[in-house]
Amino acid sequence: MLQTKIVDILLIEDSPTDIELTVRALKKNHISNEIHVISDGAEALEYIFGSETKARMNNNPKVIILDLKLPKVDGLEILKRLKGDENTKIIPVVVMTSSKEERDIVESYKLGVNSYIVKPVDFDKFVNSVNELGMYWVLLNEAPN
Amino acid sequence: MKLINIKTIPWTLLNLFFGIVVSIVLLGFWYSSSIEKQFKNDAKKQVMSIGDLKVQQITSWLNERKADARVLSGNKNNIKNFNDFLKMGKDKTKLLEMFRLYCENYDYASISLIDTSGKIKLSYGGREDSLSQLDALQIQHFIAEPTLEFSELHISVFTEDVTQDLFVPLLEQINDTTELLGIVLIRIDPYRMLYPLIQNWPTESKTGETLLLKKEDSEVVFLNELRHKSNTALKFKLPLNKADAIYHKATNGEEGVFEGEDYRGVQVLASVRKIPGTSWVMVSKIDSEEIDQPLQEQAKIVWIIVILLVVISGITIGIYWRHQRSKYYENLLKLENENKALSKHVEHIVKYANDIIILFDDQLSVIEVNDQACSTYGYTKEEFLKMNASDLRPLRFREELKKIFSEYEDGKGRIYETTHIKKDGTEFPVEVSGRLFKIEIGKYYQTIIRDISERKTAEDALMGLSLRNEALLASVPDIIMEVDNNKIYTWANKAGYDYFGNEVIGKSADYYFEGEQDVYNMVQPLFDGNENIIYVESWQRRHDGEIRLLAWWCRVLKNEEGIAIGALSTARDITIWKQTEEILRTSEGKYRSLVESMTEGMALHEVIYDDKGQAIDYRIEDVNPAFEKHIGIPIEKAKGALASELYGVSYAPFLNEYAKVAESGVPYSFQIYFPPLLKHFEISVFSPEKGWFATVFTDITDKKRMEEAIERRIIALTNPVDSTEDLKFEDLFNLNEIQNIQDAFAKATGVASIITDIEGKPLTKPSQFCDLCENIIRKTEKGLANCIRSDAVLGKTTLDGPNIQHCLSGGLWDGGASIKAGEKHIANWLIGQIYDESADKESMRKYADEIGADKEEFSLALDKVTRMPKEQFENVCDSLFLFAQKLSDMALQNVQQARLITKQKLADEEIRTLNQELEERVIKRTEQLEASNKELEAFSYSVSHDLRSPLRALDGFARILMDEYSTNLDEEGTRLLNVIIDNSQIMGNLIDDLLAFSRISRQEMQSHPIDMFKMVNSVFTELNQFYIGKNIVFNLQEIPNINGDSSMIRQVWINLISNALKFSSTKEEQVIAVGCMVKEDENIYFVKDNGVGFNMEYSNKLFGVFQRLHSMKDFEGTGVGLALVQRIINRHKGRVWGEGKLKEGATFYFSIKDKESQYASDKNS
């Protein structure tokens, strides 16, 4: 049954503390809908493009939050695969990373990212960012069917 | 001029006026009706709100009364007093006193105490027997059901006053049961309280009135005193027979605002409301007339305005109409004047016109002529007026006159030429332009006649022009011929006659054709009418018999029906062109033969490309015979072969170089060793067209070998010159040249000559050797050895002169001189084989025996030996010595020269090596730099990503701890958590600043003009908002602009000004000054503050990364700002420095070269 459950937010992030902070921030703002966390790039690709889960990816998640620095396969590669595939390119992807580097930002936008957020060090700001992100992409944004 | 037609009645203006009037009136109607609606609405609202107010007032008045009663009955003391009185007759005075107080305080008419049997026991202000029958009945009813309630308004039987009663039950609580002790009856006089309350109208109104009424059977009873009628309370009743009367509606239970008649029959606006808890209905009304009055006034004003507007528009239009009329008349006057001027003008024209103007009436009699007519024809005007149109024509032209004039009837003008006659009888050609015009009085013919004698003359002259055309054609250098349909020449110009001869006309064209020619067929389309012009070339015989090639352009001639009747052709002799063309054609063949015969190999190739456009091979398309000679591959085999296959290699030779030439078309030459053939070639490559190339090559293998030999010689000569070294004569001299010198010397002196090495081995070929030595002695083993030995002895070095001695082999005179290079003895030049009389013939014969030579031959040969006196030979030897010495000098020179060259070569080589090393080092260093740059980039990238992450965790979890577990923390715990949070923030800022700092060095710089004044202003405004409420004086001078990276320079200003603001924030009044000192070639900008300043001792620490001169407690900061400033300014090739004094302020300067000098330095760099 796990395979068919509805996932609203797919969080691809390897730092356990950042995962906890993100999930906490989302919950704090009552955007706890359904969060699925994957902490490994290869695993993320398997989850998205694996045969078992492919059908489900057509309907959801509403947004993918993606870190750039990931074990095995990095975030930009995942973004490239997501935006290069007919089935997944319509899923909004928000890159949320510590990197403020111009080239990461430019490269992400070139690959078609929907939004790029630099994780602030300040937890309050971080909560705000995650809140706005969740509000917009999960609750407000009207996705095509 | 445009004249507007003015009608007697200006309908347009009238229509406009009516339109305006209608719209103004409609507007007035609309406005007043909308005002009326609003007024009505307002009145309705007013009446409604007054009604609401009244209802509320009455309701609350009733409730107050009930509350009074409850105070009376709810008080336990009172109850006890009543009980005592009723049961024991006690306290009467006390109760009376209480009643009195109530009556006076609340303005009641009377208060009575009634016992349970319904008798009045005590009363204040009323009579004790004043209970009417009705009252008694009510009391009985009340005793049965004791609740606090009002009676209806009624007329007291005794007092005949309108009263209202309030029954108050006195209840005593005994255990669980309630017992009625008695009743207090409070009698209220409505005139005192209720009626005034009702009658009071809250606004100023003449007719506003509130009244209470109630339905009683089929009548309506008015309960209060009315405004417009007296003595009405409960006495005034009206039958309910008027359905739209207000009181009728009110008693029907309807509520709301209505219009209708009131009790007087007057139209009113009324609000009808029921009073809750009673059977009363309340009507608040106001007369419609009163409401309408201001409305009517308003309407009056509106209509006055409407009328005013109508009048104004009427006046405006009237004025406009008058203006139009006056303009019209003005224009009329103007037109009339113009007409007058025009007619004068016309008259003038007619009178003085150059053309003759004559007017005829319908009988063709002259009725008007102008002056020109008189002067031309010679008649006076009076004479003219008696004449007829036909009189102007010669007799022979008079017949057609009627016909011409009748043609005018259609109203169109006609122009024709004819002849007229003058009074003196001379005839002259004229052009007549005539027209009929009809006016009220009758028909007139107007004719304008022009004397065209001159024109006729001119036309006649034109006729002569065709002759000129012919002359023109004749003068053209090209041949022009005309043929008829049968190709017979009918006309020729001069050039035509010159070519074909004078008898050409009448001859058939083919008469002049040479050889078999198809010219007739080629030009046939002309005569068929299919073509207009045809070009042919044909060989034709000239009149002198020479055959020339003519180029013909033939043009068809057609008659009026469009049928070809011949052709006009021009021809040009193109024989020379043809020949030139021929020569050119053959010259290609000549080039071909040149290529065929040249000694260099030549080959033409096409480059073969793959799918991606990459050259992969080339095909040999053509080669010359020399190719075979040089390469050794037969032409047939080479042609069409792929280079890689032909030479048996996997990669076509020199493909890169060749492909480049074939692509770019730039010729290229090179020398190369070609391993497949083991040969050296010099190859020149050029491209005749894109994708093709030709090579011209020479086999330079021999030349190469020779060069290598020379190279070897030079290398041999490079060693230092001393006696131990291995220097050889043949390395120092060209042996061929030496041989020539030696031969010439021998021939001139007649002595034999040879040059040997120091051991006597010959280096040159012997010259002028005698038979004896060459063919006899040297042919024997012993003899040869002796010769060599003798030669060696002969060459022993002497400084002062040649060695002269008898030959050790044979005994002839020999001489020798040594040749040296410096101290090194390298060769001997030997001469000799001279016989003089002093020689011992006998011993010589013995020697022949000794070496085993034939004695006979020896003797014969000896006889042939050159004979010379010894003195002469000695002279020859002396000159030999001089030669040898000269050769020695040359040898030394050669050596030195070689050494110099070698030195140079070595030096060149060294420089080349050094350069190469340097280059390698630069490349290596660049690589290292790039690598370290990459490393640095990777480092800052990971700093950016990885260092922030744990900080976020620190901050985040500390905050969560603070938010969710603060109840479990004491004050110290909270403080410690805050320390963690603050420090992670500081660390975050440090990382951000550090990254910004490193980014500045990597960032690419843009250069644009910067408006510095504007930039500083905007930076200050931006920063100032963090210091709101502070007393800041900001002095910004006019500062010059600069070229630079605007985002970087902005950062400089931000850092410097924010520092100034920060470090002066402790002052009452902060003074910040920004300015610039313009020096010769640079601008020095500065930011000055009156802040805490710094000690100049530490000025060297100002610009270091993370260097701070103040504690974090005093001023926040990361210590990166000024370092960043320095880096940016350094990148702009400027300087930055600071001056300060503790507690007095600081000034920071940065200099940037001004635009021009910056430009200059850019150019230099």
Closest chain A residue by Cα to residue B946: A98
Q: Name the band, by pLDDT with cuts 50, 70 and 90, for residue A3.
A: very low
Q: Which residues of A touch B951 (CB under 8 A)?
A: 121
Structure tokens belonging to residue B672: 């190369």
Q: State how far residue B1133 is from chain A, nearest Cα, in angstroms.
A: 26
| Minimum-distance CB partner of B956 among A99, A101, A126 | A126
Which of A19, A29, A121, A124 is the best residue to mutate to test the B interface, defined by the most B CB atoms within 10 Å of its own CB? A121
Neighbouring C-beta atoms of residue B883, cutoff 10 Å: 16
Q: What pLDDT is attached to residue B1075?
A: 92
Q: How far is the C-alpha of B1134 from the C-alpha of B1127, rounded, in Å?
A: 10
Q: State how far residue B1007 is from chain A, nearest Cα, in angstroms.
A: 20
Q: Domain coordinates of chain B in residue numbers? A: 353-460, 476-580, 598-699, 724-907, 1004-1164
Same fold, B724-907 and B1004-1164: no
Q: Where are the beta strands (DSSP E) in B253-335?
A: 256-261, 267-274, 281-287
Q: What pLDDT is attached to residue B1071?
A: 92
Closest chain B residue by Cα to residue A100: B944
Closest CA to A95 of A68, A71, A132: A68
pLDDT digits (tens, 9 = 90+) for B938-997: 777 676 677 778 888 888 888 888 888 888 888 888 888 888 888 888 888 888 887 777
B531 CB-contact burial (10 Å; exposed 0-12 / middle 13-18 / buried 19+): middle
Q: How far is the C-alpha of B394 from the C-alpha of B428, rounded, in Å?
A: 10
| Minimum-distance CB partner of A21 among B944, B945, B956 | B956
pLDDT digits (tens, 9 = 90+) for B660-715: 888 888 888 888 888 777 788 888 898 888 888 988 888 888 788 777 766 666 66
Yes or no, beta carbons of B948 and A121 under 8 Å apart = yes
* B963 lies within 8 A of chain A by CB: no
* B279 lies within 8 A of chain A by CB: no
Closest CA to B831 of B885, B717, B752, B731: B752
Closest chain A residue by Cα to residue B981: A122
- Are B185 and B166 a contacting pair, CB within 8 Å? yes
Q: Which of B405-414, B457-466, B523-532, B803-812 has the lowest mean pLDDT?
A: B457-466
Which of B952, B983, B987 is the best residue to mutate to test the A interface, defined by the most A CB atoms within 10 Å of its own CB? B952
Top-confidence residue, B1014 or B133: B1014
Class of domain B476-580: alpha beta
Q: What pLDDT is attached to residue B1015?
A: 92
Yes or no, beta carbons of B959 and A99 under 8 Å apart = no
Q: Which residues of A touch B988 (CB under 8 A)?
A: 120-122
Q: What pLDDT is attached to residue A51?
A: 66
Yes or no, beta carbons of B952 and A126 under 8 Å apart = yes
CA pseudo-torsion sign B852, B853, B858, B862: negative
| Minimum-distance CB partner of A123 among B941, B955, B987 | B955
Closest chain B residue by Cα to residue A18: B953
Q: At what angle do helices A16-28 and B948-965 cross, to 10 degrees?
A: 40
Q: Where are the beta strands (DSSP E) in B984-1068?
A: 1008-1010, 1031-1036, 1042-1044
Residue B1016 has pLDDT above 50, yes or no: yes
Expressed in angstroms, the distance from the first to the final Cα of chain B is 76
Yes or no, beta carbons of A99 and B952 under 8 Å apart = no
CATH, domain range B598-699: 3.30.450.20
Residue B749 has pLDDT above 90, yes or no: no
Q: Which residues of B touch A123 (CB under 8 A)?
A: 952, 955-956, 958-960
Q: What pLDDT is attached to residue B462?
A: 62
Helix (H, G, I), strand (E, B) or coil at B89: coil
Percent of chain B at pLDDT exceeding 70: 93
**CATH T-level assignment (fold) for domain B353-460:** Beta-Lactamase (3.30.450)
Closest chain B residue by Cα to residue A14: B949
Give the architecture-level CATH label for domain B724-907. Answer: 2-Layer Sandwich (3.30)
Q: For residue B263, what is the DSSP state?
A: T
CATH, domain range A2-137: 3.40.50.2300
Q: How far is the C-alpha of B508 from the C-alpha of B136, rounded, in Å?
A: 168
Residue B1088 has pLDDT above 90, yes or no: yes
pLDDT digits (tens, 9 = 90+) for A25-74: 888 777 766 788 888 888 888 888 876 655 555 556 788 889 888 888 88
Q: Which residues of A touch B962 (CB under 8 A)?
A: none
- Are B802 and B819 a contacting pair, CB within 8 Å? no
Yes or no, beta carbons of A98 and B948 under 8 Å apart = yes
| Minimum-distance CB partner of A15 among B949, B987, B992 | B949
- Are B1053 and B1015 a contacting pair, CB within 8 Å? yes
Q: Which residue has the tokens 């053939």?
A: B677
Q: Which residues of A touch B955 (CB under 8 A)?
A: 121-123
Beta bridge partners of B286: B269
Q: Which residues of B touch A27 (CB under 8 A)?
A: none
- Are B1104 and B997 a contacting pair, CB within 8 Å? no
Q: What pLDDT is attached to residue B2?
A: 46
Residue B82 has pLDDT above 50, yes or no: yes
Closest chain B residue by Cα to residue A16: B953
Residues 6+ apart with CB under 8 A from B385: B366, B367, B369
CA neighbours within 13 Å on the CB side: how many for B872? 11
Burial A75-106 (b: 16+ CB within 10 A, else e): bbbbbbbbbeeeebeebbbbbbbbbbbeebbe
Q: State how far residue A115 is from chain B, nearest Cα, in angstroms.
A: 18
Q: How far is the C-alpha of B489 from the C-alpha of B567, rounded, in Å?
A: 9
- Are B752 and B873 a contacting pair, CB within 8 Å? no
Rounded to 5 degrees, what angle do the CA atoms B836, B842, B845 make?
100
CATH, domain range B1004-1164: 3.30.565.10
Q: State how far residue B1122 is from chain A, nearest Cα, in angstroms.
A: 22
Q: Domain coordinates of chain A in residue numbers? A: 2-137
Residues 6+ apart with CB under 8 A from B764: B735, B738, B739, B742, B754, B755
Structure tokens belonging to residue A104: 């990461």
Residues 6+ apart with CB under 8 A from B85: B91, B92, B95, B113, B121, B122
Q: Which of A30-34, B743-747, B1055-1059, B1144-1148 has the lowest mean pLDDT?
A: A30-34
Q: Which residues of B touch A106 (CB under 8 A)?
A: none
Q: Name the band, by pLDDT with cuts 50, 70 and 90, for residue B1006.
A: confident
Q: How far is the C-alpha of B835 from the C-alpha of A105, rounded, in Å?
A: 109
- Chain-centroid distance of CA B7 in Å reads 63
Q: Which residues of B touch A119 (CB under 8 A)?
A: 948-949, 952
